[in-house]
Amino acid sequence: MVIQQTLTLVKPDGVARGLTGEIIKRFEQRGLKIVALKLVKVDMDHAKKHYTEDISERHGEKIRLQLLDFITEGPVVAMIIEGIDAIENVRKLVGVTESKSALPGTIRGDFTHVSYQHADEKETAIKNVIHASADENDAKNEMALWFSIDELHDYQRADEAHVF
């Protein structure tokens, strides 16, 4: 049993569409615990720390600039989610990055449908309502970027007796 923590962001399009409560509900229904939560207006300096230069190396500078514009266009709900194999479980609930390919039942599969092609034609980032850390290394770095240690809270969920 591996208890992990991971970062999740409800992106500006998810916040603007009023999906934050539904998204949190899905994580909590799965038995995952929210240990940190805040609404943030992301400035460009912070955005550049999140979408680092390695994004340019993997996807090109144009994509990175689109992501920077997108994450700074409105408020973001940042949260740290904790649970058994939380990174993998959160990623499964979120669904694949390209919205049109995300399976029904996932957050992206139920609330988005935009393709890479459409985003490219509009010269914008793909609006897929949510971000989730990709792996343990990303989770560690992203959690430290978005939250200080005193913003995390430890508590017992009522259903934890059934899990541990």
Confirm whether 152 is domain-assigned: no
**Residue 161's pLDDT is what?**
76
Asked whether residue 160 is domain-assigned, the answer is: no
68 lies in some domain: yes
- Pairing between β-strand 76-84 and β-strand 3-10 as defined by DSSP bridges: antiparallel
What CATH number is attached to the domain comprising 39?
3.30.70.141
Q: What is the mean pLDDT of the chain?
A: 94
Please say whether the beta carbons of 78 and 11 come within 8 A.
no
As for how many domains the chain has, the answer is 1
Whether 131 is a known active-site residue: answer yes
* Total length of the chain: 164
Q: Does residue 164 belong to any structural domain of this protein?
A: no
**Which stretches of the chain drop beneath a pLDDT of 70?**
1, 164
User: Is 154 among the domain residues?
Assistant: no
Closest CA to 164 of 72, 11, 33: 33
Q: How much is the pLDDT for 95?
A: 97
**Residue 108 maps to a domain:** yes
What's the pTM? 0.94
99 domain residue, yes or no: yes
What's the pLDDT at 25?
A: 98
Q: Which domain holds residue 15?
A: 3-147
Q: What is the pLDDT of residues 13-35, one digit of tens each?
A: 999 999 999 999 999 999 999 99
Check 118, 131, 153, 162 and give the catalytic one. 131
Give me the pLDDT at residue 164, please.
62
